[in-house]
């Protein structure tokens, strides 16, 4: 399966140059900062990817991004069908800077199908988070392959076109009168439970070394004032 994804989407950096770039830019941040980045990086995973479908409340989008980052999941998918993605910075608390976001939006004829194909092509099983599903709980959901977990819009839930393409469903048992948790609360419960289970299993779930090196460079650059501009200049000097 192919779980690789380049952290730099707007700058082309050959894999052969990443190590050299890290050696050049790492001294520009403190040793304490660099060690912190490496500690976080060693716990990073893209085995689970939460995918938000058409959320319209920005506090929910921000909360899910924050949860993904806190759980050590590096990627978040965003499907925009009717609603544009907006995130409340005060809710996300800066988490949006440290995760990779993949957008499937109105630039494409069918963003939902594009998202489904994107994750299937990368080897992910597709899981729908649905309160009334006859599927699994977060404690019983199979973890024999990576999962892209789709969370539907507020009130409406997952679109029927997404539901019909899911490999499995996951739900949270309700013990009260209310039919379900808020979508961001559901995401927090599911993602935290799955992270704990991954840490207890023997299944490899952490990022591979090429991805980690590329991500480390991205985080170093983000930690430097005008880091992206410095990286571009460094690349130009390297090619001269």
Q: So where are the chain's domains?
A: 46-210
The pLDDT confidence band at residue 153, using thresholds 50, 70 and 90, is: confident
pTM score, two decimals? 0.87
- For 46-210, CATH gives 3.40.1280.10
CB 190 within 8 A of CB 129: yes
CB-CB contact of 222 with 28 (8 Å): no
Q: Is 117 helix (H, G, I), strand (E, B) or coil?
A: helix
pLDDT tens for residues 164-202? 999 999 998 888 877 777 889 999 999 999 999 999 998
State residue 6's pLDDT score. 47
Query: Which sign does the torsion angle of CA 210, 211, 214, 219 carry?
Result: negative
pLDDT tens column, 119-132? 999 999 999 998 76
Lowest average pLDDT, out of 31-35, 44-48, 52-56, 121-125, goes to 52-56
List the one residue out of 179, 227, 240, 192 whose CA is nearest residue 11: 227
């Amino acid at each position: 399966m192919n779980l690789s994804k380049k952290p730099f989407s707007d700058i082309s950096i050959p894999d052969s140059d990443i190590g050299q770039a890290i050696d050049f830019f790492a001294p520009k941040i403190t040793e304490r900062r660099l060690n912190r980045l490496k500690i976080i990086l060693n716990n990073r995973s893209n085995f689970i990817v939460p995918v938000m479908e058409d959320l319209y409340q920005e506090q929910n989008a921000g909360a899910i991004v924050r949860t993904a980052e806190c759980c050590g999941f590096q990627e978040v998918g965003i499907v925009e069908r009717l609603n544009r993605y907006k995130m409340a910075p005060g809710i996300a608390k800066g988490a949006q800077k440290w995760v990779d976001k993949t957008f499937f939006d109105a630039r494409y004829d069918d963003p939902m199908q594009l998202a489904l194909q994107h994750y299937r092509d990368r080897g992910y099983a597709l899981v729908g988070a649905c309160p009334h599903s006859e599927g699994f709980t977060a404690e019983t959901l199979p973890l024999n392959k990576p999962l892209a977990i789709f969370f539907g819009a507020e009130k409406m839930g997952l679109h029927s076109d997404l539901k019909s393409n899911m490999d499995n469903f996951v739900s949270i048992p309700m013990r009260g009168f209310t039919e379900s948790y808020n979508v961001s609360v559901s995401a927090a419960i599911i993602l935290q439970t799955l992270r704990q289970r991954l840490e207890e299993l023997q299944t490899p779930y952490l990022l591979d070394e090429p991805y980690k090196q590329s991500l480390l460079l991205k985080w170093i650059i983000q930690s430097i004032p005008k880091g992206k501009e410095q990286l571009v200049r460094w690349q130009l000097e390297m090619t001269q």
